[in-house]
Amino acid sequence: MRKVSFILGACVALMIASCGSPSTEKKEGEQAATNSVADQQLLAKAKGLFAALPATAENPENPVTPEKVLLGKQLYFDTHLSMKGNNSCNSCHSLSTFGVDNLPFSKGDNGGFGTRNSPTVFNAALHSMQFWDGRAKDVEEQAGGPITNPVEMAMPNKALVEKRLKGMPEYVTMFKAAFPADKEPVTYLNVQKAIGAFERTLLTPAPFDKFMNGDLSALNAEQKEGMNAFIDAGCTTCHLGSNLGGTMMMKFGLVADYHPLTGSKTNDNGKMDLTKQEGDKDIFKVPGLRNIAKTQPYFHDGSVADLGAAVKIMAKVQFNKDLTDKEVKSMVAFLESLTGDLPADVKAAPKAIAEK
C-alpha cells in the first residue's frame, strides 16, 4: 500500500511539474520578448544622443603616420621636454592609469602644483576643444602648451626645446622619418604634431560601444537602467556624442553655487580668466565621460573623489534635482560601461633616448 501511495504521489508531482513547465517557459519567453523590446527602444533612444567610438581620430591638417606616432610616443614619455628633467607628458597624464595622475592638481617640473585638474588624454583627440577653458582647438595645439608653461614643464622658450632635441642624433633621425618633406624637421610645431598624432591613436572602445553597435547583451540590466536614468535626468543636455561630452562649454553651477557641495577650496573663474567677460565666469569645458570611473578626482579642481557623489552634485547644481541613491547607483553602473581596455603596448614606455 505504501508503495502504491508513493507511486501515486510521484505521478501527481510529475503531472504538476509537467503542467507547470509550459507555463513557466511561456512566462520566461514573454519576459525575454519584453526585455528585447525595451532594449531595442533604449538602443534607439541612445542612438539619438550618443555614438560609438570611430575607428580613428583623424586631423586633415596632421595626417597620422606610423613614423609620427612612433616619434610622438617617444616625446610623450621624454623628460627632456621639461627644464629640469623632472616631468614628461606622461607624468600628469599617465597612460598606465587611464591618462591621468589621480591627483587634484599635478606637480610641475619645479615642484609647484597647477591650479586645475589634469584631464585624461584618452579619446581627447575627438573633443572639439582642449583645456578646461577651451583655449586650444585640438590635441596638436594643446601639446605645445604645458612644455613652456612655467608651472608645468617650465621650458623657457620653444627655441631651447628645438636646440635640446637637435643635440640628440636619434631624435634628428626620427624627425626626418616623421616629416620627410620638411627641410628642417626638428621644430617645435613638429613636436606638437608628433605628440598630437600619437594621442590620436589613444581610443578606448568599451562595452558601451558594443551596445551602441547592436549587441544588446553588452550592458547588464542595472547599466541599462542607469542609461535611462542618465538620459531622463537631463545629463545628455551636455554629455552626448561619442565621448559623452567634450563638445561644448557650460557654466558649472547653472542653478546653484557648487562650492558648498564640492567643498572646493579655490575660486576658479573658468573662461572668464581668458576673456575678462563677467558672462564667462564659471564657464568650463564639458568633460568627456569615457573611462570616468577610473579618472577621479572630478571637476576642474579635483574636489570630489567619489563618482556617485559627483553625479549627485551635478544633478543638484545643474538641474536642481535630488537623485535617489538607486538612481545614482544605476547611473554609476552605466558610467562604468564606458571603461575601455588599455592595451599593454600603449602603456609601455619606450626606451629612453639619452643626451649626447
Percent of the chain with pLDDT over 70: 90
236 has pLDDT over 80: yes
What is d(CA 183, CA 168) in angstroms, rounded to the nearest whole number?
A: 18
What is d(CA 38, CA 68) in angstroms, rounded to the nearest whole number?
A: 46
27 has pLDDT over 70: no
Question: How much is the pLDDT for 16?
Answer: 40
112 has pLDDT over 80: yes
Question: How much is the pLDDT for 129?
Answer: 98
Mean pLDDT (whole number) for 20-32: 59
Q: Which of 1-5, 19-23, 29-33, 199-203 has the lowest mean pLDDT?
A: 1-5
Percent of the chain with pLDDT over 90: 88
Q: Spell out a b/e string for 159-191, using b for 16 or more CB atoms within 10 Å of the CB, else e.
A: eebbebbeebeebeebbeebbeeeeebbbbebb
Q: What mean pLDDT is reported for the chain?
A: 92
Q: Which residue has the cell 517557459?
A: 25
4 has pLDDT over 70: no
Q: Residues, the chain, total?
A: 356
pLDDT digit string (tens) for 38-68?
999 999 999 999 999 999 999 999 999 999 9
> For 66-203, which CATH class?
mainly alpha
24 has pLDDT over 70: no
pTM score of the predicted model: 0.90
Decide if 152 is catalytic.
yes
> For 207-336, which CATH class?
mainly alpha
Q: Which residues contact 263 (CB under 8 A, 6 or more apart)?
A: 303, 304
Q: How would residue 25 be classed by pLDDT, with cut points 50, 70 and 90?
A: low
Question: How much is the pLDDT for 266?
Answer: 87
Q: How would residue 20 be classed by pLDDT, with cut points 50, 70 and 90?
A: low
Cell of 152: 608645468
* Active-site choice (140, 152, 327, 336): 152
Question: How much is the pLDDT for 36?
Answer: 86
150 has pLDDT over 90: yes
Identify whether 260 is preceded by a cis peptide bond (ω within 30 of 0): no
| AA letter at 109 | D
Q: Please report, for the chain, the start and end positions of each structural domain, with discontinuous segments joined by +.
A: 66-203, 207-336
Question: How much is the pLDDT for 3?
Answer: 45
315 has pLDDT over 60: yes
Cell of 43: 538602443
140 has pLDDT over 80: yes
Cell of 44: 534607439
Question: How much is the pLDDT for 199?
Answer: 98
Burial tier of 210 (Cβ tally within 10 Å: 0-12, 13-18, 19+): middle
